[in-house]
Structure 1
Amino acid sequence: MFHTEEESIVTMINHIAQNNVSAGSESDVADIVENHITKFWSRRMKKILSEQLAKGSETFEPAAKLAAERLSAKISA
């Protein structure tokens, strides 16, 4: 199954959130996801993530969406 780059970005953030669900609350998981993306993702990947969030066209895990919203706010600031 082929995915667009945009779909892959959303899938990756969702996987990061799913893999850290044992960290606690949704906010705690979002902190971990946000830190991971800040450290390891390129600016381009973060920009694509922000665009996908703005489009609302992809399905985000709740903690992944919270992390994406936080990151998008930093990008646009």
Structure 2
Amino acid sequence: MNINDMFERIAWIVRFTLTSIEIKWPILLFESIFLIGGIMLVITGIKIRRQSMISAIMNVVLGSVITLSTLYLLFVTFLFGYNS
């Protein structure tokens, strides 16, 4: 493999990433807000563990579900677009 081939592949990946972000930024922003919310729920659940165990478990479980589903949606949106 030639060094120029490697640079061309890296340049293609960068162009693909930038084009995807330029076209799909509104949906990616909306999904990123849900990702941040899910992470905040997990952190809140860990911090309130001593005060209320049931609330902590609910926060961690709900935050984990939201975070994992949002990561999946971000991945699918980034690769395939809106119609997936």
Whether TM-score is above 0.5 comes out as: no
Q: Normalising by the residue count of structure 1, what TM-score does the alignment of the two structures yield? A: 0.33
Q: Normalising by structure 2, what TM-score?
A: 0.31
For CA contacts below 8 A with separation 6 or more, give which structure has more relative contact order.
Answer: 1
Tell me which structure has the larger Cα radius of gyration. Answer: 2
